[in-house]
Chain A
Amino acid sequence: MKNRIIKWIDQRFPLTSFVKHDLTGYPTPRNLSYWWNFGFLAGFVLMLQVATGIFLAMHYKADVTLSFDSIQHIMRDVNYGWLLRFMHATGASAFFLVIYIHMARTLYYGSYRAPRELMWWTGQGLLLMLMATAFMGYLLPWGQMSFWGATVITNLFRATPFIGEQVVTWLRGDYAVGDATLTRFFALHYLLPFLIIGGVVVHLVALHTVKSSNPSGIDLAAKDNIPFHPYFTIKDLYGLGIFLIVYCIFVFFLPNSLIEPANNIPANPMQTPTHIVPEWYFLPFYAILRSVPNLVGGVVAMGLSVMVFSFMPYLDRSHIPGGAHYRPWYRVTFYLFVADMLVLGYVGYTPPTNQSIVMGQVATFFYFILFMLLPFISKAEERWLIRRGLPPDVEAMIAGEAKEKSKLPQRRRRGDIT
């Protein structure tokens, strides 16, 4: 009976071949480390956010006079409303943490290089949509930080040439952040996750065309690829367990550590908080914005600091495999970049003082300089590594994989492999 149903479907829809091609039989490099778990985790958190978000939307009211109260209604009166809300609020941080690790892995292992540029660029688009979704979701509780954060960020569009004022008014739906802004942010906050799901599908189709990269950076021969199921389904589930433990520690024991105290005060347009800070995941970019004294310059620098990742396939001119693993100079660059991000995050968090402003400017300068020097560093490093030779085990591995691949057509002809 079951077989007959599947056969009936298969004649009309490629079900079995899809499952075989993309799930059970999908060839995956066997040497993937746990850093390759984070793409799956990002997908999981996306589903978690959509699920909790839909239930929150059933009780939330997008109206400036009601939204703060409706959050308290969810927190106090709705059955397990506090759990839904803390899962969703903590989920936003978890999403960015997972995505930042996913990106750091891509940068470290050079996974953005050919033929995976489209994966990197669709990922960049997903990051932008995630940032927009998080920013708009942050307005919804209508607390002090929600209101002032949205005011500061929408104000940045004043930097648009010629029509700055009009663009800001158009975005807000009013001259100031108000009811019109809240309702449209709610509508878009509900829409964007579904666009993100669409983007993820494109990201995955691209992945299944070019297949996963791996820590060696070498395109592995068939014998070193294993089917996704059961090997990576179980490995992803184990990683998910570890992730959920960390996530639940925050949800159940430290949920308020991720919520600014000022956001527990209802929005008051007449009273500016002493110190406006974004959520932790925007701090480095916020620091870059503040480090440039001029509004237009700051906005351009901030936009560029996010978009500069797209250029990585061109900025990195080395063809040495394995990303930072076999490339000592690139490795140093990578760690300097991570350290610079942390410094920028710290600068974004502290109220501006003479010291922190200088520190932010140095770190901003350093941020862009690292990207600008990368073409020269990577090319010089490639020449140096070719002259010096790769470690013998890497050379052996490259030779082995190449030999394995050249054998493949003959063996297939002889019928060794089905």
Chain B
Amino acid sequence: MNTYAAAARAFPSLLKTGLAEMVSYRVELVIWALTATMPLLMMFIWDRVAATGPVGGYDQNAFAGYFAGTLIVRQLTTAWVVWDLNEQIRTGSISPALLKPLGPLWLSAAENLAAVPFRMLVLVPIITCICLWRPELALGLAWADVPAAAAALALGWMVYFFIQVCFGALCFYTEQSGGIYMGFYGLFTLFSGYLFPLDLMPAGILSVVQWLPFRAIIQTPVSIITGQLHGAAVLAPMAHQLAWAVICAALARWSWRHGIRRYEAYGA
């Protein structure tokens, strides 16, 4: 427990470091944020599909709202620790970071958080354009659901971050895990609600997919911030999020510790 107290004490400074880092790479960060535009493309195709009538309960406004929400959630629950670890472990630059009293994962988490304001900045013009395009879009978050939305975003980010740590820790064994991670990422785009609302999938597939961790990262926060789910209805999907956050955190912790021990055994 001692490390967590230390982490809590150090976190404000870590956040400041992370913020400075993000400020110095602001242009690159904005460009990175702009590359996450896949939901925009999907919005156009689903808009055409719904032009002749609603599809599975979604009309054009519902789709516009859903994908605007997806863009927002994607920017806020994203993480890139797997790429940091791939780079640091392969080049050995992780060694000095490991000597510090707090592990490098804390700084990665702080950087993710520090990037949020910049990522929001990218969102503003895009979301404004979508709102001008479909003024009636379904994007209505009630004040009462704001805490739930914030918690869902935080849980979604945790699931994504810890899964990435697991893949990153794989590098301790294989030296490169970017390729395997991209396989996971492909499944993520299909089964998280990133490219289409999951309820549009055939029921048989959906009944399997809803048990997987993917929807915790995108679909659950999206359905809350668009007002699709509210009140007590948010509890079940959030319990799913919480369960996966705990599982992934435990898995990340275990693989990280094992990996570190192995890394030391290299003597690198």
Q: Are both chains from one complex?
A: no
